[in-house]
Chains A and B, each alone.
Chain A
Amino acid sequence: MTQRETIQRESDGAAAPPAERRLDVVSVLFRFQSMLGLVAVFIAAVLFSPHRGAQILFLTSENLFNVVRAVAEIGIIAVGMTFVILIGGIDLSVGAVLGLAAVGSAVLMVENGMGVVPTVLLVLLIGLVFGLLQGIASARFGIQSFIVTLAGLQVARGLARIWSGGQGVAIAYGDGPGEAPVAFSLLGERTFNGLVPIPALIFVVVAAAAIAFLRVSVFARHLYAVGGNQKAARLSGVPVNRVKIAVFGISGALAALAGIVHAGQLNQGSPNDGAGYELDAIAAVVIGGTSLAGGRGSVVGTVAGALLLGVLNNVLALNNIDANIQLLIKGLVIVAAAGLQRLRPAL
């Protein structure tokens, strides 16, 4: 098997050693570990769902789309986070960047009278540049990404507070001054007969693009190489620093995209928004089977991880489990998923 094929298999979340392609039960199970978790939680949700007559409330189409809408922002962030974690890094700034982007979207449209397209592009650029700067600080100066992005979190929060004047900027729609273009309100809407939420569609598109990108691009090979063995990657001519900087750029841009979606869904940009979202995103990535040590994992897994968390949240809420107990259950599920990773047969 060639190097390229190996990497492609890895990007599928493959665990089976290429030399011996025994499709024994264990390796298949672990290969689809993140999917299995999602399926298990989904079945549990169906079983434990409250009923209204013969109707299983969890399975109503509106509820299922609610789940996807609810995880859309975390999911978009988690896709970017997957790139960062694949090289063995971490990005703690994404929640704050989401807040900054939400504020930016609101202020640019409401106070500066900018149109939707320039606003979106500028906000995405801000996220991209913010991420790239963190990548440069981490790669060029050899500071651990944990510290760099922890600092980045503070900086982004501070910028969001300054830009917004310390309070939420409401987005009102219309053509007049102080009003945002009506087109932006699409982000809070549903399409296909008022069923499919736009943020869910955006999440699906982002995830699909990332999956495709990781399958075909040269960059993806470099990514897994850097995450697997940095020294070996460098020696074999992979531009390690450039790869590192790029993944933080991707993560920042996607966090900004999530922030735009956030502003559109809530009709407001608040500097405090997105607090703690980075942890949910990391949880989704880890549940999805991506190793925090880098080099192994997939976006498919992350999507499954995000949906797993969403389904879990949803069914706990539908059953009105006490909010404090919910935290315990979610914690246990994350530990269980991480534990499964350790059990995974070595490559």
Chain B
Amino acid sequence: MLVARQILRSVLILRSGRFTVFCFLSFFLSSVSYSQDCNSTIAGFIKDESSGESIPYANVFLKELQKGAISDSLGFFRLESVCPGKYHISISHVGCETKELFLGFTKDTTIEVWLDHNSQLLNDVSIIGQRKKSTTQDRQSLNSDLITQNSNRNLATMLENMTGVSTINNGSGISKPVVHGLYGNRLTILNNGVAQSGQQWGVDHSPEIDPLVANRITVVKGVGALEYQGNSLGSVILVEPKKIRSEPHLHGGTRYFFESNGLGNGINLELQQHHKIIAWRVVGTLKKSGDNNTPDYYLRNTGNEEANVALQLEKLWNKKWFSDLYLSSFNAELGVLRGSHIGNLTDLEEAFTRDVPFYTEDEFSYSIDAPYQKVNHHLLKFHTRYNLSKSHWIDFTYSGQYNLRKEFDVRRSGRSDAPALSLEQFTNFLEGKYTNHLANDLELKTGIQYNRVDNANLPETGVIPLIPDYISNEYGVFGLVTKRIKKVSIEFGGRYDYEQRNVATISNRVPRTIVRHQNDYHNISGVLGFSYDFLKSWNLSYNIGYAARNPEVNELYSKGLHQGVSGIEEGDPNLAQENSLKNTLSLKGKVKGRLFFESLVYYQEINNYIFLNPQDEFRLTIRGAFPVFKYEQTDARLVGFDMAATYKVTEAIEVIGKYSYLHGYDKGNMIPLVYMPANNLYGELNYRLPKWGKFRNVEFQLNYKYVFEQKNLLPSQDFVPAPKAYDLVGAKISIERQWSKLGLKLFIRGENLLNNRYRDYLNRQRYFADDLGFNVIVGINMSF
């Protein structure tokens, strides 16, 4: 019956990420010979991009004719009485990213559509092997629907409900992600394939990325960083902007949200067109929020403001050459709780005894005064690919980053207007990469990289800087091989890095002089992984990786008072590299089509683990006595497991349960490791309807989170004991409606519905104030 068969495949999948899902948009059309005008049928199958399973109850909508259909239990749908022509078709499903197609047909047509299912769970259960890129790494992602519904959050807090992922916060606006207990310089964040280079010194520096630019955020929990330069000792977070849709019309969308806690507002605009000359996409975000509140009082000066923009250009020069350009600018002002700005240890101890922090006001305010942070981050990435043939190609990437961080403190005599910390950082990165997909499922990838970081203090502060000026030059080579033999995937690779760093510090004795240091580091890393598919829908993966991290300049050379943490911090210029060996073992599977589960066990040994060790010493300054912390090295061990399960009670009702456990141990000193996330439980009850009146994809959700008390901690390791266990109840309702030109999504989400008072161990603000109370977020998302 098949007369013609056409494979349309967007070959423009040229993001440099190793984990890019290949078949971003791939479907084929097959035409059937008998057909008449306006009596044609479009039919098709809808499948999950990553698992290959059919998706029932998905909505298919032919915009020009306002004609809709819902897929049946086999994922099959049918649209009848359609005239031949060109049409926009939108395919949506609760929990999936809506797929927009533009296709022309002349006859009865059958299409196959692959949806990007929100894959926090079971991302990689492979049934149809070809659809996914074989990897032995454990990955979880958020798709653009979930990013939209969490648009009031920042990059780190968006990921919070994934197993094994937590956040270190400084209040509500400043958060950095923690994966399997590692954060900051031990965790690599890739923004559109570029390793984010910014000021990641303290726990109070959040990554300078607008998550609303991304349409997918992925956490790779194995040993995923081998292809990337940097210091990752394990996990990687990928922030991936949307590919430009391959169709000639102008499309776009807008997202708006309001949140009750902090009276926050945010708007996000997006426009894109795959024009003949060049494909382009522009995204912009504006956000503003004021003082947050706990169940009992306002948190003064906790507002923040953000203005971000990103431009994406793609050009297919000819069959062989493809280039893309990405420009983004992130600009934020983040308020810090006024009552958390303290002078000395006495102030800190006094703060512990207070129910309500000092400076608390009865009135809500949007104003941001000292202490606050002002952060700008600009990124330019240029990438070009040359296809030597269909199966092997060369990628060339340049990226430049500029990061400017200013922190303003409460100071005397109008000096609050001058930052107390002012750092700028230029990063230039060059990469050449060669990829070859050889016959018999063998893939080879190799590349060379060069990275230069120039970090300088601006002298406007009037304060001796804690972080010295430096220039670092880093050179790397890597090679990776992936091989698939029937049901087994094998992955192995290695990399070598050389870093030379020249540092200029200012002495902490008078007269002030400049003291120069040079650091040289040679590092070798390696990874080995296996993945085995069995029993049709089960998968067992094992991954082992060896990696190193060079000591950072703050760990080597900081000397002086870190007022924010009420301590004198002293670096040690003789610190050696950290070496890590991480093992992950994961088992995923499906039982009787109803129960999906995923479990991951990890065991990580880090030798020469660098940490701030409190000394039995107080140092007298004119502000009083301060405890002394020294950067020291020990051998650390991180052991944990993540578990998640989904049970489909019926096609409409689904229950999800998750549990994360982590135990950190300092083997050298035989004590617990500090700053490890507390164990936690998370549950979700979802009720989903494909259609409800004129609305589609209606979803009701109730969720519950229980965070245990961090008991793996000695009293001497903190100023106050870790906070008690707490629980949070949340809910969400989302609905969609589609017109011929306009798609509409609405959601309402509630956080901490019981208005519980709580403090979190990883939130530094816990010393001073409770965490956030009741919050309702209302959002609207329109697309055309």
Question: Are A and B physically bound partners?
Answer: no
A contacts, CB < 8 Å to B: none
